[in-house]
């Protein structure tokens, strides 16, 4: 079984500053995907960024980037130039790579990020 751990229940950052959210996971799989999802007050979960475990290069999406350390089983999210709209709960998630039907996500407990004006 896979587990995903987010050790920071809450974080805050000043607008325009940079913040890093931590995530570690435990798995015996070698091929998998990692994700960061964002849940704003509207409740809808939105995919922020995805990383394939077979790729050594860290994924980047505009102001969002990850630091993926496969050996350490660490997957942190960096948000640069934080904006008020980034205020949300952020979830780290894991999915086994499978050609079959097992494609469910395992989520961490979340980190509530507040961007301060």
Positions that interact with another protein (CB under 8 A):
33, 35, 42-47, 50, 52, 91, 95, 97, 101-110
The CB-of-45 to another protein minimum distance in angstroms stands at 4
**Do 39 and 88 meet the contact criterion of CB atoms below 8 Å apart?**
yes
The CB-of-36 to another protein minimum distance in angstroms stands at 12
For residues 25 and 94, give the distance between their C-alpha atoms in angstroms, rounded to a whole number.
Answer: 8
Nearer of residues 106 and 114 to another protein, judged by Cβ: 106
Nearer of residues 32 and 82 to another protein, judged by Cβ: 32
The CB-of-47 to another protein minimum distance in angstroms stands at 5
Nearer of residues 14 and 30 to another protein, judged by Cβ: 30
The CB-of-111 to another protein minimum distance in angstroms stands at 12
For residues 24 and 110, give the distance between their C-alpha atoms in angstroms, rounded to a whole number.
Answer: 12
For residues 16 and 54, give the distance between their C-alpha atoms in angstroms, rounded to a whole number.
Answer: 32
Buried b (16+ CB within 10 A) or exposed e, 18-39: ebebbbbbeeeeeebbbbbbbe
Nearer of residues 53 and 82 to another protein, judged by Cβ: 53
């Amino acid at each position: 079984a896979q587990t995903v751990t987010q050790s920071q229940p809450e974080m805050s950052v000043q607008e325009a500053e940079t913040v890093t959210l931590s995530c570690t996971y435990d798995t015996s799989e070698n091929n998998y995907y990692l994700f960061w999802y964002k849940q704003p007050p509207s409740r809808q979960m939105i995919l922020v960024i995805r990383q394939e475990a077979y790729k050594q290069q860290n994924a980047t999406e505009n102001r969002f980037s990850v630091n993926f350390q496969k050996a350490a089983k660490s997957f942190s999210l960096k948000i640069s130039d934080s904006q008020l709209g980034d205020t949300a709960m952020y979830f780290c998630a894991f999915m086994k790579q499978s050609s079959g039907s097992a494609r469910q996500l395992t989520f961490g407990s979340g980190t509530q990020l507040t961007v301060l004006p």
